Amino acid sequence: MFKKILIANRGEVAIRINRAAHELGIKTVAVYSQADKDSLHVRVADEAVCIGGPLPKDSYLNIPAIISAAEITDVEAIHPGYGFLAENAHFAEVCESCEIKFIGPSADSIRRMGDKMAARETVKKASVPLVPGSYERVKDKDDALQIAKRLKYPVIIKASAGGGGKGMRVCHNDVRLVSAIMTAEREAEAAFGNSAVYIEKYFEKTRHVEIQVLGDRHGNLIHLNERDCTIQRRHQKLIEESPSPAVDPKLRRKMGEVAIKAAQAVNYFNAGTVEFLLNEDGSFYFLEMNTRIQVEHGITELVTGLDLVKEQIIIAAGLPMTIKKQDKVQLNGHALECRINAEDYQNNFAPSPGRIDRYYAPGGPGIRIDTHVAAGQVVSPYYDSMVAKLMAYGKDRDDVIKVMTRALDEYIVEPIKTTIPLHREILRNPIFKRGQFYTDFIPRLFGKYLKEQS
């Protein structure tokens, strides 16, 4: 096992990784930007190195600075967390060439799944069902119109290098399609340095259901059930749960098998997630594979009893993972996660950074909070607006909704604006309670808060 690792991230995930490392008896090195010198992830680590200015490109995306920090502190491995360099194949290669283990999959798996069009091509060969759509970049306006005619409106334009909902546009007619292609290409170029976009059929009554997979370098590859991430705003997750209210054991088995096939297609090891759209009739389609730990991994931990971050470290060290056989995977109870973002949700979800003066976290039976904030901490405008992940665990779905509702009622994060009151409203919504919702839940029922709806 490693003696010391570097955590190339910030915020709650850096603290999460630090916890797993310390429990495994591993020393940790934090890296931080000048904006984060007073952050909690710096305090909990055994050592810390400043790697540059507040802008991500100067620090958390600054590969030479991170590698230098790893070399001067003499670590054996780097955990990239999620976001920043987690899905950067070049970074994984640089780590390995410096004889530092990258705690994640191979650079080749990252590369082959990182580009959405390439990933579609790869999993298609493995007979994984795909969202109907194109396989090549849109060449021009006529090409786009022809694809849309074949798929029938509505369609969605996506950036091949995409992520975080950037470069995505839903179109209902030719006029909108033609103008949206150009803006999506521009947005993709600015965000990813790659303007390639392609087109998929847009499903209006669909759910986002993803399968957690875990594999090691000893040939073991299993899935750890599904997470339902259907409650989204602007195609970004707000609430996640496991198991999904729309998945029964038979469907779980089928989706799990398909997810494993997708992972096998790129010789996957470490933790990964295969995302699907699940339609009303039980048909499901591959969306993409995320080759890293996900924000919402904690709810899988609550229902399976596994520690996914520890597993990641164990796997990167070349050891076999704890559970090797599919039939040993547990699914007990029900878990929910609410993403608490520093956002003014009543004002189009505008970011609401600033100092937190009053902070009171809920606790008691069935509650887990992963966060990097506390009273006196400043939510920086430079980074992601997520301030905490509030997770609840109960014996079944009704039970966990009660636990989460009372926890949200206890939670105080002031005076910045957060999504806590929105979550309170959602948890009390009868459609949410029945579990019969689709990805249009927020725009349809809480559309008053969204200025532009796609």
The footprint of ligand ADP on residues 167-206 (CB under 6 A) is 168, 200-203, 206
Which residue from 329, 255, 263 is spatially nearest to 290, judged by alpha carbons?
Answer: 263
Considering the complex, state which of residue 156 and residue 224 has its C-beta at the smaller distance from ligand ADP.
Answer: 156
Q: How near is the Cβ of 192 to ligand ADP at its closest, in Å?
A: 10
Q: Is 443 in the site for ligand ADP (CB under 6 A)?
A: no
Considering the complex, state which of residue 36 and residue 115 has its C-beta at the smaller distance from ligand ADP.
Answer: 115
Answer yes or no: 292 catalytic: yes
Size (the chain), residues: 454
Which residue from 435, 42, 15, 26 is spatially nearest to 239, judged by alpha carbons?
Answer: 435
Out of 70, 103, 156, 278, the only residue in the binding site for ligand ADP (CB under 6 A) is: 156
Distance, CA of 149 to CA of 272 (rounded, Å): 35
- Residue span binding ligand ADP (CB under 6 A) among the ranges 70-78, 162-170, 330-338, 396-404: 162-170
Size, binding site for ligand ADP by CB under 6 A? 20
**Mind giving me the DSSP string for 88-157?**
-HHHHHHHHHTT-EESSS-HHHHHHHHSHHHHHHHHHHTT--B-SB-SS---SHHHHHHHHHHH-SSEEE
Given a contact cutoff of 8 angstroms between Cβ atoms, the answer to whether 342 and 351 are in contact is yes
Q: Is 287 in the site for ligand ADP (CB under 6 A)?
A: yes
Q: Is 164 in the site for ligand ADP (CB under 6 A)?
A: yes
**Residue 68 CA from chain centroid, whole number:** 28
Q: Is 277 in the site for ligand ADP (CB under 6 A)?
A: yes
- Residue span binding ligand ADP (CB under 6 A) among the ranges 25-33, 136-144, 155-163, 336-344: 155-163
Helix (H) or strand (E) segment spanning residue 442: helix 441-445
Cis peptide before 154 (omega within 30 of 0): yes
435: left (phi over 0), alpha (psi -120 to 50) or beta: left
Distance, CA of 34 to CA of 23 (rounded, Å): 28
Considering the complex, state which of residue 165 and residue 362 has its C-beta at the smaller distance from ligand ADP.
Answer: 165
Q: Is 162 in the site for ligand ADP (CB under 6 A)?
A: yes
Out of 19, 176, 235, 368, the only residue in the binding site for ligand ADP (CB under 6 A) is: 235
Catalytic residue among 111, 292, 339, 397: 292
Could you give the residue numbers annotated as active site?
Answer: 292
Q: Which residues contact ligand ADP (rule: CB under 6 A)?
A: 131, 156, 162-165, 168, 200-203, 206, 208, 232, 235, 275, 277, 287-288, 439
